[in-house]
Chains A and B, each alone.
Chain A
């Protein structure tokens, strides 16, 4: 096989692998969520299907696929079907701009190295931000088209929440972009290569601790996770925007949520935790992506941990926190970062 064909095949393989990992990430996260919840509540969680309940997500999927698809009589036929599709498409598409590994030649198989990740875009941060912000349409349309009060309220709450927290989220991102001087996620990651004093890895986490905190909090709110899960607040809204959904159409919503979580964690790793850098020996032999996956796993664990330990806020508290605390904090962080960059000339 000549180099061009081989290269094409490998790049196709990388895209397929990314897609496969994302699908499995959502299945694994469902299981992890239930297992960790069980652990925290001193019970087993799912353990009947497969060894230690490992095949539980498969059973869930089969169950959901064979359920009857219901649609309320007065629901908007087109938008009701379109909404889950938009949600899940936006979730998958956003990950396309996220790099997850260094350049590699696959141990000399290729002449010139390929980049691990679907696409290397020079405005990757903006691409991720733009496409995840499209996901809100799925939720809003699901709420509106269901022709149900609970769904509509869930959809409205979700869009208000996402718009409010997007500001803090984007402002936190801007500080990192200023530090790295690039909108490309790959360049941001490579700017974090190396060590201070030979021991502390040059991660932006240490330069931007507040920025990281703001990013993670806004990220939890953006993905509609507890303690910010107002769109589906069970006590108030039955199940929120997806009340009227069933079967596959329903399954796509949680799947989009879990993929969004993964994207959020992967972007946080790229921006603040040095991506695949940090362990020199893994970097040298091209296994940095393992460290990347480990970091993403830690963030995702923290997400689940928070969900089962922190109770839900009240809706007005959410809005107050977003506008009066988180956003000003993000702006102050941005100004302080800009001042430091000017003063120290980094």
Chain B
């Protein structure tokens, strides 16, 4: 009972905060709300007996990525968005792009429904795998990451390396001129 109410509390916080993120005119508030949402998600991970994932969520997303977002907003000093200034001729408001967005949204709904239908299968599959502590143990996470998902892991690191080299290149070109 207590755990269920905690779940609804954090799930509610996550949903409300995420919804408010896109409702804010001040980008600074959006960032703070997004951090709140990440925090609530981390709490949900802890309830799922996955403290390692929860802490990784906070360190990586709330700790590193959002600080970077904050930096960008502060340095650009993004002005508050004003609804009246939205002009109808903005490229993002054309009909074709609107339809494309609608198709994407429809796909997302289909995907969500499909996932919800399959939820029972998934939970039985997880239960069949056995102990829930296996998820929480860092040792097992590391073992799976460096054996079963070796390729995906290494491919991701190369992707990040490419992004890093690109960032260095962009920054270096500006100073050399």
Contacts and interface: CB of A to CB of B under 8 A. Distances in A.
A134 B58 contact: yes
Contacts of B67: 136-137, 140, 159, 163
A79 B63 contact: no
Number of chain A interface residues as a range: 20 to 34
A130 B58 contact: yes
A152 B76 CA distance: 13
Interface in B130-172: 136, 138
Given A79-B28, A79-B32, A133 B63 contact: yes
Interface string A126-163: 11011101101100110011000000100110010001
A126 B138 CA distance: 11
Given A137-B35, A163-B64, A183-B138, A126 B59 contact: yes
Interface residues of B, number: 21
A123 B58 contact: no
Contacts of B8: none
A130 B70 contact: no
B74 interface: yes
Nearest to A145: B28
A77 to B, nearest CB: 11
Given A79-B28, A121-B51, A123-B51, A134 B63 contact: yes
B52 A126 contact: yes
B62 interface: yes
B55 interface: yes
Contacts of A155: 74
A13 to B, nearest CB: 23
A168 B85 CA distance: 46
Nearest to B71: A159
Interface in A10-32: none
Contacts of A145: 28
Nearest to A126: B55
Contacts of A140: 67, 70, 74
Consensus secondary structure, chain A interface:
helix
Contacts of B55: 123, 126-127, 129-130
A129 B59 contact: yes
Contacts of A144: 28, 74
Contact of A122 (B29, B51, B56, B64): B51
Interface string B58-78: 110011100100110011000
A103 interface: no
Interface string A234-249: 0000000000000000
A130 B71 CA distance: 19
Interface in B34-93: 35, 51-52, 55-56, 58-59, 62-64, 67, 70-71, 74-75
Nearest to B133: A122
B30 to A, nearest CB: 12
A271 B64 CA distance: 24
Contact of A134 (B26, B62, B75, B136): B62
Contacts of B29: 78-79
Contacts of A136: 67
> By CB atoms of chain A within 10 A, which of B32, B59, B62 has the most?
B59
A183 B136 CA distance: 11
A144 B29 CA distance: 12
A76 interface: yes
A76 B32 CA distance: 13
B36 to A, nearest CB: 11
A145 B28 CA distance: 10
> By CB atoms of chain A within 10 A, which of B26, B64, B70 has the most?
B70
Contacts of A76: 26, 28
A123 B63 contact: no
Nearest to B60: A130
> By CB atoms of chain A within 10 A, which of B35, B51, B52 has the most?
B51
B28 A122 contact: no
Contacts of B58: 130-131, 133-134
A130 B75 CA distance: 25
Contacts of A133: 58-59, 63-64
Nearest to B62: A134
Interface of B: 26, 28-29, 32, 35, 51-52, 55-56, 58-59, 62-64, 67, 70-71, 74-75, 136, 138
The 5 closest A-B pairs by CB, nearest first: A126-B55, A133-B63, A130-B58, A130-B59, A123-B51
Interface of A: 76, 78-79, 82, 121-123, 126-127, 129-131, 133-134, 136-137, 140-141, 144-145, 152, 155-156, 159, 163, 183
Given A130-B58, A130-B59, A130-B62, 11 more contacts: A78-B29, A79-B28, A122-B136, A126-B55, A127-B51, A130-B55, A137-B67, A140-B67, A144-B28, A145-B28, A156-B71
